[in-house]
Amino acid sequence: RQQYVGKLKFAFLEASPASKKLIVATEENVVAALNSRSGEILWRHVDKGTPEGAVDAMLIHGQGEEGDALLVAISH
């Protein structure tokens, strides 16, 4: 079964010795983490707010096994 996240708007490659993830935000208001090798969706969140909502910015702070901070700005 194929899954899609939508047309890419923002992307960030998180590279660590243990894994490589691609964090993306799309024009369809989806924020997701993809396995950079296989393309498998590791997790995703769909903003089902209002039809005019849009991802305006994506900021990722920190890299590593301890966890990262991900900020996505969505206008409504």
Q: Does domain 8-74 have CATH number 2.40.10?
A: yes
Beta bridge partners of 54: 75
Which one has a higher pLDDT value, 31 or 2? 31
Q: Look up the pTM and report it.
A: 0.72
Q: Where are the domains of the chain?
A: 8-74
* pLDDT tens digits, 31-72: 899 998 898 999 998 877 665 557 777 777 665 555 566 666
At residue 48, what are phi and psi to the nearest 5 degrees?
-105, 35
CB atoms within 10 A of CB 31: 21
Tell me how far apart the terminal alpha carbons of the chain are, to the nearest angstrom: 32
Which one has a higher pLDDT value, 19 or 5? 5
Residue with tokens 């939508």: 6
